[in-house]
């Protein structure tokens, strides 16, 4: 097993390293969490291999026959009046290998007041973006490895500016059924703009994630560990608000140590009763906690908690995610078994 996990790391090391984070690329909504379950576990969980049809929006290697005829719709009232949602559906043509996945991710930035350079009102405008995807998974014969890919078409309308783009996600997953252990690697948003907003081509939010999870042998608990944004080191930057000033007026910027830099790639999650009709989920995102915390205040930034309930052929999910003392988000999800 260790040898196979090492193989996944070697695959990662051979990838081109493009450093892109928030504010450095267009179509940033592509890296928002895809479901309440994923949000509750800290975000960017990529190792679930079960009925959760929304999981495949983030890792196409998770597509499997258990998703057959599952339809999921998710919604979040995000920060600053922004709302976004996802929808996913899978259909199994052949029970062994032929499962196809389809998904939609949509974000609405709300309404804004517009003004010209002289401060005169030009009315209101809005902004929204959409990505439509199709995915497929393939099990490598005589191995415990699965690989998959999503193809996405992206549209964006921001005031009078419009853009269309395309991207591909790749995923790989190793599953040890005896130990109930999963390891996964995703390489997301490899693509380009087909048409630009104003004649300047912008990069897409390329991202590499690695994750592991396992259900404990005698405890109904599944732990999750994700290393996000492995395409860039470090992702931590000094916060100007935490700079110190001495009596002479000299400023010293915040120092981010090696351990802190490493932890900002880490996401931890746990799911209690993962196979039951009722489960509880808890997650902690170290980067979100550190970047959004308020100095000398305990506000539980980075923490998220959620529940899942199964009633006959329907599964309800809810998650509350903490960003800081002034900002929280709720995520709602419904999955229906259409069989």
pLDDT of residue 296: 66
pLDDT in tens, 274-330: 989 999 999 999 998 888 877 766 677 889 999 999 999 999 999 999 887 667 899
3-state secondary structure of 58: coil
The residue whose two tokens read 């997301």 is 188
User: Mean per-residue pLDDT for 162-191?
Assistant: 97
**Cis bond before residue 51 (omega within 30° of 0):** no
More confident residue, 271 or 237: 271
Residues 6+ apart with CB under 8 A from 59: 46, 47, 148, 169, 171, 173, 184, 186
Residues 6+ apart with CB under 8 A from 199: none
Using CB atoms within 10 Å of the CB of residue 185, give its burial: 0 to 12 exposed, 13 to 18 middle, 19+ buried: buried
Using CB atoms within 10 Å of the CB of residue 54, give its burial: 0 to 12 exposed, 13 to 18 middle, 19+ buried: buried
pLDDT in tens, 207-263: 999 999 999 999 999 999 999 999 998 887 777 767 777 677 777 777 888 888 899
Query: What six digits make up the tokens of 335?
Result: 């999955």
Q: How far is CA 113 from CA 67, 87, 134, 160, in A?
A: 43, 30, 36, 13
Q: What is the CA radius of gyration of the chain?
A: 21
**DSSP class of 119:** S
Q: Measured over all CA atoms, what is the biggest interatomic distance in the chain, rounded to whole angstroms? A: 74
Q: Residue 6: pLDDT band by 50, 70, 90 thresholds?
A: very low
The residue whose two tokens read 């389809």 is 102
Domain 2-337 is of which CATH architecture? Beta Barrel (2.40)
CA distance 194 to 164: 5
């Amino acid at each position: 097993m260790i040898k196979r996990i090492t193989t996944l790391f070697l695959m990662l090391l051979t990838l081109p390293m493009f450093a892109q984070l928030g504010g450095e690329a267009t179509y940033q909504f592509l890296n928002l969490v895809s479901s309440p379950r994923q949000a509750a576990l800290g975000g960017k969980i990529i190792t679930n291999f079960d009925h959760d049809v929304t999981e495949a929006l983030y890792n196409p290697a998770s597509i499997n026959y258990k998703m057959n005829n599952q339809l999921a719709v998710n919604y979040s009232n995000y920060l600053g009046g922004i709302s976004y949602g996802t929808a996913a559906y899978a259909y199994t043509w052949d029970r062994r290998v032929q499962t196809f996945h389809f998904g939609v991710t949509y974000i609405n930035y709300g309404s804004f007041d517009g003004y010209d350079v002289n401060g005169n009102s030009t009315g209101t405008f809005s902004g929204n973006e959409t990505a439509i995807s199709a995915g497929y998974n393939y099990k490598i014969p005589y191995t415990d490895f699965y690989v998959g890919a999503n193809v996405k078409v992206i549209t964006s309308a921001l005031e009078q500016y419009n853009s269309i783009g395309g991207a591909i996600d790749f995923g790989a997953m190793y599953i040890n059924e005896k130990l109930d252990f999963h390891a996964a690697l995703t390489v997301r948003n490899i693509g380009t703009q087909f048409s630009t907003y104003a004649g300047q081509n912008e990069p897409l939010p390329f991202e590499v994630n690695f994750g592991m999870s396992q259900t404990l042998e005698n405890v109904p608990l599944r732990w999750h560990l994700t290393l996000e944004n492995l395409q860039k080191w470090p992702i931590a930057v000094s916060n100007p608000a935490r700079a110190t000033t001495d009596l002479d007026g000299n400023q010293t910027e915040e120092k981010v140590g090696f351990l802190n830099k490493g932890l900002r790639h880490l996401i931890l999650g746990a799911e209690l009763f993962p196979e039951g009709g009722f489960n509880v989920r808890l997650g902690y995102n170290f980067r979100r906690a550190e970047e959004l915390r308020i100095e000398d205040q305990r506000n539980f930034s980075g923490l998220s908690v959620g529940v899942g309930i199964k009633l006959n052929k329907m599964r309800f999910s809810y998650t509350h995610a903490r960003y800081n003392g002034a900002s929280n988000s709720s995520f709602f999800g419904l999955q229906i078994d259409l069989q």
